[in-house]
Structure 1
Amino acid sequence: MFDWNDIRFFLELCRKGRLTEVAKALKVDHTTVSRRILSLEKQLDAKLFESTTRGYVLTQAGERLLPHAEAMESASATIQDHVGGENRNLTGVVRLGVPEGFGSQFLSKDMPSFQALHPEIELEFVANDRFVSLSKREADLSITLERPRSGRLISKKLTDYSLRLYASRDYLAKHPPIKTVEDLKDHNFISYIDELVPDPQMLYLSEFVASPNVTLKSSSIVFQFQATVAGAGISIMHCFVADEHPDLVCLLPEEIEVNRTFWLNTPEDIHDLARIKAVTQFLTELVDRQKKKLLGVLE
């Protein structure tokens, strides 16, 4: 029988690809990682990894072991959650992959409420607009712009949200008036860098303005927001952020509106863990309470 503890080292090396990164994650020396992997290979009488210039990659034997190792990891977490510490409060780490704007400008404001409800759950936010890999445990939960089409995931619609066109009062005072979509041809815009945009559906501007004069680009929606507030140009922003800023004016709301959906995704094997369910419930209830804000419905 092989040492079950070696499976942790196997999984981390699968996900990180380098001994030094695994050592950092597991708080051991990299020689310990190497020794544990060699021990597992010896006990299984199979070579699990090949060392390449890109790091360690799985052999065919390693590929066959991977789903079983992930099942063991899941079973271990389930045992701890369902059996261990029955009288304790919810504890543990939950990592959430979330779009930058939604995480930093919406979810962050309600973190004190979550901490009050679950003081022993540690939340980690991976602010990223690309799809984080749940199978590689880059996150425990993810919020995405599209519903994933593959993987052993449980996905559900979290909420709809809206985006509209905004400019600062200072910008509008210094530039020609905007009464129709045609007037926009004479204005400066702020948008994403096309080749760096993580999802094509985030290139909203081209849906409404033919050949817009984009004078400032950024891969960060937070940067775009701050630049818009500063008067650097006009941009399409999330209503849940822009409507709350007193210096921003919504332009042509009847003509220009983008409607999108956030999806909440969880790996099947950890979906029922108590700490995961606690975070899922909090997110679901939060967006339900804030639905008008997300959709840009003004009171």
Structure 2
Amino acid sequence: MQNWDDLRLFLAVAREQSLSGAGKVLRLDPATLGRRMGRLEKAMQVALFVKSPQGYALTQAGAQLLERAGAVEQAMRGTAVGDDAKSEGLSGQIRLGAPDGCANFLLPQVCAAIGRDNPQLEIQIVALPRVFNLTRREADMAIGVSAPTAGRLVVRQVTEYKLHLAASESYLEAHGPIGCLADLKSHRMVGYISDMIFDRELDYLADLGAGRVALASNSVSVQVNMLRQGAGVGVVHDFSLPFALPLRRILTDAVSLTRAFYLIRHVDDARNARLARFADLLSAGLREEVARLEALVG
């Protein structure tokens, strides 16, 4: 196995898929980084990357090294964290990937509470509307809206949550009441950009037979803010409504959707006591926060 400094540089290039991107993360000159990667490939006598104008893509050997190097990184992060982690508190850095609805309306409260109880812990929330690749170590763990069936992953359902149609009071006053689903066809709809829906569980409007999406975004928080501005009607998480008071749920008897959040971890991290402790705190916090916020809207 190569020394940790070589692996640290390799991990950055593999994750950023470019010398320039990795150079920014590491604060190293890309040319220096390129020489280091060339030296690493020569020492290992195998090509780790396919180089092209588009960047650095991993070869099969590179993907295998990424998995091994990621395991070394996790072990180093977890050094000195044993069975007494609960009493001594968590420390070090943990990166959490999440869809932006969860990241914007739930994780700030949950992670703030965990951080208060564990002042030496550094929590990074990566909010992106896509599926995270834990094999590439884009994050230490991720929240998903469906349970992945491929990959070396450990998945557990954390909590269910509700969604309903909603619109602002100003929009409803200007456009009249909405009495049934058929009425939606004459209203402006707010929702996801259709070709950027990264999970079938998010394709709410297709199942409702609503009209075209007049205002769209790949971001849940942007959709909520468009609805608050009276842009139209859309599907929103009940847990987001306490942060968007001008919005009011409509057609609650006709439309009530239930989805779930899943906590996804790489199988190689299953025995990492530090990450396991954080996962337990995160799961409990999410369940409590969803229940609290949903109770506020009835």
* TM category, shorter: 0.7 to 0.9
Stretches of structure 1 lacking an aligned partner (at least 5 in a row): none
Code of the aligned partner of 2:148: P
Secondary structure of 2:104's counterpart equals: helix
CA distance, structure 2, for counterparts of residue 86 and residue 3 of structure 1: 31
TM-score, normalised by the number of residues in structure 1: 0.86
Aligned to 1:247: 246
What's the counterpart of residue 276 of structure 1? 275
Instruction: Decide whether the 8 Å contact of 1:187 with 1:213 is kept in 2.
Output: no
Q: Are residue 258 (structure 1) and residue 236 (structure 2) matched?
A: no
Give the residue type in structure 1 aligned to 2:126: V
Structure 2 letter corresponding to 1:39: R
Q: Distance in 2 between matches of 1:149 and 1:142?
A: 15
Write the mapping of 1:40-189 to structure 2, written as runs, cut at 5 A.
Answer: 40-59=40-59, 61-63=61-63, 65-82=65-82, 89-189=89-189
Distance 1:207 1:27, change over 3 A: same
* SS of aligned partner of 1:290: helix
Partner of 2:230: 231
User: What's the secondary structure of 2:56's corresponding residue?
Assistant: strand
Q: How far is 1:246 from its partner?
A: 3.4
The CA deviation at 1:98 is 0.6
Paired position in structure 2 for 1:38: 38
Closer, same or farther in 2 for the Cα pair 1:86/1:9, shift >3 Å? Answer: farther
Q: Which residue of 2 aligns with 1:5?
A: 5
* C-alpha distance in 2 between matches for 1:272 and 1:145: 24
Q: How far off is 1:126 after superposition?
A: 1.0
Structure 2: gaps of 5 or more residues = none
TM-score scaled by length of structure 2: 0.87
- Mark the CA change 1:211 to 1:42 in structure 2 (over 3 Å): closer, same or farther: closer
Does the aligned pair in 1 maintain the 2:23–2:29 contact within 8 Å?
A: yes
Q: Deviations over 1:7-56 (max 9, x none)?
A: 22233322222222223323333344233333333333334334222223
1:106 aligned partner, one-letter code: L
Number of residue equivalences? 297
RMSD of Structure 2 on Structure 1 (CA): 2.8
Separation (CA, whole Å) in 2 of partners of 1:58 and 1:188: 45
- Aligned residue for 1:22? 22
In the aligned structure 1, how far is the partner of 2:199 from the partner of 2:162?
A: 17
Is the 2:189–2:232 Cα contact (8 Å) retained in structure 1? yes
Deviation at 1:285, TM superposition (A): 1.4
Q: Within 2, Cα distance between the matches of 1:61 and 1:261?
A: 36
Q: Which moved more, 1:124-133 or 1:44-53?
A: 44-53
Q: Which region of structure 1 is more displaced relative to structure 2, 276-285 or 137-146?
A: 276-285
Deviations for 1:44-89, whole angstroms, at most 9, x for unmatched residues?
Answer: 3334334222223344544554444344334434445449x99965
Post-superposition offset of 1:116: 0.9
Give 1:244 shift.
5.5
The superposition leaves residues 96-139 of structure 1 with CA deviations (integer Å, 9 ceiling, x where unpaired) of 11111111122213443222111111111111121011111111
CA spacing shift, 1:293–1:204, aligned 2, 3 Å: farther
Q: How many Å apart are 1:207 and its aligned residue?
A: 1.5
Question: Aligned letter for 1:169?
Answer: E
- In the TM superposition, residue 161 of structure 1 has moved relative to its aligned partner by 0.8
User: Tell me, what secondary structure is at the counterpart of 2:213?
Assistant: strand
Cα pair 1:158 1:284 within 8 Å, conserved = yes
Q: CA-to-partner distance for each residue in 1:171-226, whole Å, 9 max, x for gaps?
A: 11112222222333332221111112222331212222x35153222222112111
Between stretches 16-25 and 124-133, larger displacement belongs to 16-25
Quote the Cα distance in structure 1 between the aligned partners of 2:66 and 2:17: 14
Percent of residue pairs identical: 32
- Mean CA deviation greater in 244-253 or 158-167: 244-253
My pick for the range that moved more, 90-99 or 236-245, is: 236-245
Distance 1:161 1:128 in 2: 19
Q: Give, as a single letter, the amino acid of the residue that structure 2 aligns with 1:28.
A: L
Task: Name the residue aligned to 1:289.
Answer: 288
CA distance in 1, matches of 2:79, 2:86: 11
Q: Is the Cα–Cα contact under 8 Å of residues 70 and 137 in structure 2 kept in the other structure?
A: no
The amino acid of 1:147's aligned partner reads A
